[in-house]
Structure 1
Amino acid sequence: MRRHLALGGLMAALLLAGAVAMAASDLTPQRIAQKGRAFAPGAVALKAGESVEIVNDDGELIHHAYLDHPDFAFDTGEQAPGSRTVVAFPKKGSFTVLCGIHPKMKLAVTVK
């Protein structure tokens, strides 16, 4: 009987660990690279409350991601090479993230 209880406890612990890992992966921001004067990928889909991590992967270029929308706005300021900024999108909608230094850079974000 003790062996069944021990196995049952082990199974419960493994299931809980898997659920925690799955929940943590749901919270992991989607990585958006800034390289070659472009966002990559150029479009993402999120659920309300999810985040993106905007990373300057350019060796020498400074970037400056921002969003100015009536429902939601942010500004990363100047991002030196290697810097990272995590931005949560709290509301549903369609948004365009721009670069204040490189005007052709655009990231389309759809939040459902």
Structure 2
Amino acid sequence: MASLALALIGIGAGALALTAGEAPLQRIAQKGRAFAPGAVALKVGESVEIVNDDGDLVHHAYIEHPDFNFDTGEQIPGSRIVVTFPAKGSFTVLCGIHPKMKLAVTVK
């Protein structure tokens, strides 16, 4: 019985090792005219999912940076977009509709 338990533990550890290499997708909510969380740290090639969680507000996330830029266009409530950061640096995601909204992204 002990050897069966050790075998099952070994299988579980193997399964964790297979998924441990994949970086989890970080979810960024847009709600109440704010990004939440307001700052994230990523590695090159990792992604965030920007979700409009506001019931009645349209958002418009974008970055204008010499090394990387993107523009979601208008995001209606419930919409989501995945953004992958291909370069190292410090980036500020802004909302084109709500200028006080800022998300700090550090990519190493």
TM-score (norm. length: structure 1)? 0.84
Of 12-21 and 91-100, more deviation after overlay is shown by: 12-21
Letter in 2 for 1:28: P
Distance 2:42 2:24 in 1: 12
* Aligned CA-pair RMSD: 2.0
Structure 1 counterpart of 2:88: 92
Identity of aligned residues (%): 72
Structure 2 counterpart of 1:15: 13
State the structure with more CA Rg: 1
Structure 2 counterpart of 1:33: 29
Distance 1:20 1:93 in 2: 29
Give how far 1:10 is off: 5.9
In structure 1, list runs of 5 or more residues that go unmatched.
Answer: 1-5
Structure with the higher fraction of residues in helix conformation: 1
Distance 1:19 1:73 in 2: 34
Structure 2 counterpart of 1:59: 55
Deviation per residue, 1:51-92 (Å, 9 max, x gap): 111010000001010001000000111111111111011111
Give how far 1:18 is off: 1.3
Letter in 2 for 1:97: V
Matched residue of 1:101: which SS?
A: coil
TM-score (norm. length: structure 2)? 0.87
In structure 2, list runs of 5 or more residues that go unmatched.
Answer: none
